Amino acid sequence: MRIKIKHKPHGKAHWLIRLFIGLPKKLFPDKFTGWADDTIKSMGVHSSTHIDAPWHYSPTCNGERAKTIDEVPLDWCYGPGVVINMTHKADYDPITAEDVRKQVEKDNLKINQGTIALIRTDRDQYMGTKEFPERGTGMSAEATEWLINKGVKVMGIDQWGWDLPLKYMAKKAKEENNAKLFWEGHLVGQHKEYCHMEQLTNLKALPPQGFKVAVFPLKIKGASAAPARVVAMID
């Protein structure tokens, strides 16, 4: 999931301008040495802050072909936001529907059709460290469904993944011989259409509600996810 970017300084472009465009150096404008450029050499669509499409969870949703990221309606990706504070949840302790319901009632959050729900865990403090994929709570299937049933199409979390940490889930599934434990939050998407964001940051800077969220993904044809610049706007 590492992102590798090659930065090309302004002066590197002078040969391109001279040889391929045909502009001699003597005709370069004053103080112009060329343009800066950059190349993304390696980046997965699930790298850094991103939004998952229904296609990521399953090839179908309710028997119909699941949407890829370029097919996700943009009106899902802009709307009123709420922050659901789950910072009290310990690592590996899943977030239940009751946890979400109680916090929503405590903060008197208004969740309607089109609301974008942000789950605050404060695990973004580990971003960039080896601990990041190993730390965190996680959304249970029932908590994910609770939000969808309230009209939420897009939701997100400020930790490495939506569910409990992957290695922990695999370990528990083997210990309990339980085929229902692994990726349960994601797999709600097999029968209920929704998108979630992972690796959000700075949710602690937001009020519980009273702001808009924009989360427009890169339009990558046929992709299961896309990087997104997720922005909260407060009047």
**What CATH number is attached to the domain comprising 220?**
3.50.30.50
Q: Are residues 12 and 95 in the same domain?
A: no
Q: Are residues 142 and 217 in the same domain?
A: yes
Average the pLDDT over 135-162 and give the result: 98
3-state secondary structure of 53: coil
114: left (phi over 0), alpha (psi -120 to 50) or beta: left
pLDDT digits over 44-79, tens only?
999 999 999 999 999 999 999 999 999 999 999 999
Q: Are residues 11 and 59 in the same domain?
A: no
With contact defined as beta carbons under 8 Å apart, do 160 and 47 qualify?
A: no
Domains in the chain: how many in total?
A: 2
With contact defined as beta carbons under 8 Å apart, do 40 and 219 qualify?
A: no
Q: Which domain holds residue 205?
A: 50-234
Q: What angle do CA 226, 43, 223 make, to 5 degrees?
A: 35
Q: Are residues 36 and 106 in the same domain?
A: no
Report the distance separating Cα 219 and Cα 71, nearest Å. 9
Per-residue pLDDT, 213? 98
Summary mean pLDDT of the chain? 97
Q: Are residues 109 and 9 in the same domain?
A: no
Residues 6+ apart with CB under 8 A from 92: 136, 137, 138, 164, 165, 168
What does pTM read for this prediction?
A: 0.94
